[in-house]
Amino acid sequence: MKRFAGWVLSAPATVLVVVFLVLPVAATIAATFIEPAGIIAPYQAFFSSGFRRTVLWRTLEISLITTVISLFVGFLTAYVVARSPGRIKSLLIIAAVFPLLTGVVVRSFAWLIILGRNGILNNFLVWLGVTDQPFAMLYTQWSVIAAMVYLFVPLMILTLVGVLENIPDDVIQASASLGASPAATFRQVIFPLAVPGLIVGAVLVFTGSFTAYATPQLLGGERQMVMGTLMYQRAMVAFDWTGASTIAAIMVVVTIAVVLFMTRVARRLNPMAT
């Protein structure tokens, strides 16, 4: 009886996941294989278009750059938070979580105010005398990346803080007592033990960036179209549901492939990572 207790307890959640996640995704992908023109005709049409290939590559580029920057910033911040005293640690965690209390659209609109031609950053640069004319910062790839990093760094910090807190101080002190430099301690002790958190954080940031819609739409517009905005355009503007399903299927496959690749690389860095 105990053998089946776990299955019984997890059955309701499993049914909900299958009904509301697995089946809709499977139906979306299956819809791309029933075209009269051929099973792979929608995919041939997608990859034969230079514009759509460019959108796919741009989305991958934005997602990977966002992930790398978020890993760097999030790891450094999480390390400081994890090594801070109790009360200060609580305040720092609250500060990291606070942006998550605001909706994605609101935070994206904040970047419109910051990066606009008459925005805070341009006015500040003009006031400093760096430039006489405002820079065109909006509707560029880097404006989208900046907003994405701002959106996802809190998730990275929260993911890594718990992992770094569980690294015993005795291990770090033992490394130093054996003559290891701070750089060697980081490379051979801290980083390998933090790899599981890095895996989870990288997956969360990449999947969130790759499938994002609101932020690229507001800050990138038509000039910096990504897969999410392209899928919306095909479904809600052109009413090309097969084309939208094809884009969704490609996004699912690419996301799974990149996640598996990240996991494989992480296991090479740390054989104990799971």
Segment 5-54, tens digit of pLDDT: 767 778 888 888 888 888 888 888 887 887 777 778 889 989 999 999 99
Report yes or no on 227 lying in a domain: yes
Place of tokens 């023109």: 37
Report yes or no on 19 lying in a domain: no
Report yes or no on 156 lying in a domain: yes
pLDDT at 274: 44
Q: Kindly write down the DSSP assignment for every residue of 120-147, as one continuous string.
A: HHHHHHHHHTS-SS----TTSHHHHHHH
- 212-215-220 Cα angle (round to 5): 110
Report yes or no on 26 lying in a domain: no
CATH number for the domain that contains residue 231: 1.10.3720.10
Report yes or no on 274 lying in a domain: no
Report yes or no on 8 lying in a domain: no
For the chain, the domain total comes to: 1
Give the amino acid at 105: V
pLDDT at 270: 60
**Can you give the residue range of the structural domain that contains 110?**
40-269
Report yes or no on 170 lying in a domain: yes
pLDDT at 53: 94
What is d(CA 114, CA 131) in angstroms, rounded to the nearest whole number?
16
Place of tokens 């897969």: 227
Has residue 249 got a pLDDT over 70? yes
What is d(CA 136, CA 169) in angstroms, rounded to the nearest whole number?
48
Taking Cα atoms as reference points, which of 153, 136, 44 lies closest to residue 97? 153
Which pTM was predicted?
A: 0.87
Report yes or no on 5 lying in a domain: no
